[in-house]
Structure 1
Amino acid sequence: MKHDTALDIVGEIYDAALEADQWPELLTKIAAFCGGANAALVTVDPDINYSSVLTPGANPDSLVAYNRHWWRHDPLSVLAAKTPSGRFISVADIDRDTYFSSAFYNEFRRFTGYGNYGVTVPLFRERNAFSTFVLQTSPKKDEFEAQTLQKTRLMVPHIERAVSIARKLHRLDLQRSLIDCSLRSDHAGLILVDAKQRCLYLDDEAEDLLASETGIVVKNGAVQLRNAKTDIRLKSAIQSCARIEPHRPCGKPIQVQRGHVQSELTIDVLPYRLNTSNPHGAPAAAMLLIRDPDRGKVADVEDLRARFDLTPAEAALALEMLKGDGRAAAAARCGISINTARTHLMRIFEKTGVKRQAELIRVLMDS
């Protein structure tokens, strides 16, 4: 019977890798099977000042206090950040005199309603972020029997694999949902943030963009705009994402000023709804889709050159002619004289097989 129970729980652990909302009930079953008073999944990411504890039996006020403040001062959390995955650690592995005299213990830990000598097992570490499985004792029986540790060692490898599977699936879902966003010729980057603007994911283009001097920065793990007014708009748009339907923009696009020569960047803020119940990382709130019109121009110029065998200068002028405000305006934007523009335009006519500007615009639009 006990063997069947273990197999059932192992099966549910892998089910939870696909359905994250099964974890709370499952943690209760794992604690009961192993002989602990309570079980928890803890995720910490110091880079974005984030902590999350998923544990069905704990006092909600204690969880809020831990996630807001005490996780930074938890000696076991500090040790877990340096410990290889799968290794059991406990209060016995740290300086107990220091632990029991600390503010963490005397102002927080002793009031949580659980014993002190449970076990903590790191599940993964990625950069500075990590996750742990915790099995807690009760105050009345503040130690684990050999059988409890044996059962816990049976469960932990499966929990570790399930968490790894869930994280990989989450990343695949993320990448799949972002593919369409990066296909535009003016795509300059995509950033995934939580409700507090904390950066959870950057694509390669966004990393390159942030490495250069732009109006977008990451400070203390949070995405910010250098201009205070536009940063307020960004913050408001991100916070409103929880109330907006998926794929619907959260307000108007945000314009980000750059240098005098470069065009403004545009940020579209969209809600992000995939795997919002994922307990192994900070929940994302919004996607920041960054567009750079200069990138689009480069791609369009190269496309026109390839299609009609235009020179770079001819392709740039042809692209400006598409705006329909005349040869003089197009020449001014290209930084050339009207006479030079006239010469370029005659060659463009020859290569595209047209005789008038209206025909040229129609051909370019069709292409």
Structure 2
Amino acid sequence: MLSIFMFALRNCTRMREDLIDRIYEAAFQPECWIDVLERVAESADSASGLMVVFDEVKPIQFRGTPAIYDVIRAFCEVHWRDSRRASHTLTHPPSGFVILKDYFPDDLLATDPCRANRLAVGLDSEISAAISMPTGEMVVYSFDKWGCKDPHGRSDVDALNLLYPHLARAGLMAARLGLVRAAATTAALQLIGLPAAVLTKSGRVMSTNSLFEKLAGLFMPAAFGRLMIANAGANILFQEAVEKAASGQALVRSVPIPETGERSACVVHVVPLRRTAHDIFPGGEMVVAVSMPRKSALVPSAAVLTGLFDLTPAEAKFATALVAGNSVMKASEAVGITERSGRTYLARIFTKTGTHRQGELVALLSSSHPFE
């Protein structure tokens, strides 16, 4: 019996790793998104899947599986003007995936044209995530069940949240590329619109775009043409992320870089190249892209922190409470956990953000907003 359980567990792990590879493939090969959305939908026992890139409340790009395609096309072309979904999401950002019947107010759903169109084609329960990008876009992933099926439950939320950081990072690339396939390495790097470089499996810099070449003081040259980050703590996280990406392991990371006197705070994203994405970047193993969030005195949303630093939804809420000026004890109370659990959260957040003191963490996170 134990051997059967272990076999099933290993098979489930392999399937999830294959799906993660496909997510990163779609980041650079937009024609792969439909297959990815169908596979992600299956992991949450759903009948349809979609992704929409928003510029504030206006949808600018979308992909949808056959069961939802006509509904989401109508939304993006016409019905978004009459829907309060995007505006509600911007003012009440969710952390991770949420079941929309629990998230949206009843009066919003009752008058929402997209909801009515879903019901008209037989779809009902929706589960969704809205991910704020450091470059200002919002990427929404949503998955629906047929009305004849049981609604989504906690297990479906948990299954999708395992994929959340990978969908967030692939969504950043998709948003910057505009869901358009680039024909060559140089064109792709320029289309991204962020400072970016392609690295080989050994970590050697293979190609950069002009924005990357203009970065001053962020990276330092290392042996054999490799990169290292000048900030020692951030460099440890960066080298680990590069090593894991090159070996095909699941750890993929966005590394926050604290502000200095010469440079604003920024985030370095390590995005692995998988499957046919290698056709665009021959010889490349990963793309390193740098986003530079605007500095603000406002408290960043939990959704932004989750997307930037791979924090869990619970860690992101706790971090948001800290940035708002609360002590560990008060922040713990605010999110409904014990102070002991709060200190455990704080230790994990230190590890993920490369910080060591609460003041340093707050200073870093306070600058972690998207561009306006």
TM-score normalised by L of structure 1:
0.42
TM-score normalised by L of structure 2:
0.41
